[in-house]
A and B are shown apart, each in its own frame.
Chain A
Amino acid sequence: EVQLVESGGGLVQPGGSLRLSCEASGFSFSSYAMSWVRQAPGKGLEWVSAISGGGSSTFYADSVKGRFTVSRDTSKTTLYLQMNSLRAEDTAVYYCATNRGSVQRVSPSNWLDPWGQGTLVTVSS
């Protein structure tokens, strides 16, 4: 069974840092690009970042560029999101998801399936 399990969320002060993890199982982790998507409380979905299967290509939404860093460890089949200089507007549930529709690369035609259960990040003093 394909499964994605996020962890690492919590309460952090503005300006602080947090690292999210997404452990994958049930599929060939390195064969697929992965994405992070977030959802602020009561709001819609916002794509945050994507990384190719090999980890060499990374992409970010303008809202997080320069503050967030996506990475992956194939040996641990785990995706990461390092979040620095956090702001109140970063408060959201963060989901990891598998990019489908291409092998390894992040493609404009990708859809996201499956998704993890999400981890809540709250940025507040």
Chain B
Amino acid sequence: QTVLTQPPSVSGAPGQRVTISCTGSSSNIGAGYDVHWYQQVPGAAPKLVIYAHSNRASGVPDRFSASKSGTSASLAITGLQAEDEADFYCQSYDSSLSGYVFGTGTKVIVL
């Protein structure tokens, strides 16, 4: 079942800012579990972007930032570039399921 909900897609012109939401519940994000973000370009494996709410992975530009509030988290990309076009997934832990859960995924489209 869907545990973490993300918008199917977000879009923006080069240089603009886009945000991706990740909505959970009291058994995952709302329970205080960490949220992490991954980027996946078509045909490739996912790559870590943000870990533990707001820490950028090695090599990730500071155009990427993330935050968390209540039962939701969000990823922001500023100064959007063509290379940012990819699918993004949030990930957390769910105490009801006793396992890791992923968001439904969001396709970032650079216009």
A and B co-occur in one complex: yes
Partner of A109, one of B40, B52, B57: B52
- Interface residues in A, total, Cβ within 8 A: 25
Within 8 A of B (CB), among A78-125: 95, 100-101, 108-118
Report the number of A-B residue pairs with Cβ-Cβ less than 8 Å: 70
The residue on A at minimum CB distance from B33 is A108
User: Which residue of chain A has its CB nearest to the CB of B101?
Assistant: A47
Task: Provide the bound-state CA to CA distance between A37 and B40, in Å.
Answer: 13
By the criterion CB–CB under 8 Å, are A115 and B52 in contact? Answer: no
Q: Is the CB of A113 within 8 A of B57?
A: yes
User: Which one, A50, A113, A115, A118, contacts B100 given CB within 8 A?
Assistant: A50
Given A108-B33, A111-B34, residue A44 in contact with residue B104 (CB < 8 A): yes
Taking the complex as formed, is A73 at the interface, i.e. its CB lies under 8 A from any CB of chain B?
no
Does B99 contact A111, Cβ atoms closer than 8 Å? no
Among B20-47, those with CB < 8 Å from A are 33-34, 36, 38, 40, 44-47
The complex places the Cα of A111 from the Cα of B102 at a distance, in Å, of 11
What chain B residues lie within 8 Å of A113 (beta carbons)? 47-48, 51, 57
- Shortest CB–CB separation between residue A68 and chain B, in angstroms? 13
B52 touching A61, Cβ below 8 Å: no
Cα–Cα, bound, A115→B44 (Å)? 10
The reply on B93 being an interface residue by CB < 8 A is yes
Q: How far, in whole Å, are A114 and B38 apart by their CA atoms in the complex?
A: 11
A-B contact pairs, 10 of them (CB 8 A): A35-B100, A44-B105, A45-B40, A50-B100, A95-B46, A108-B95, A113-B51, A113-B57, A115-B45, A118-B45
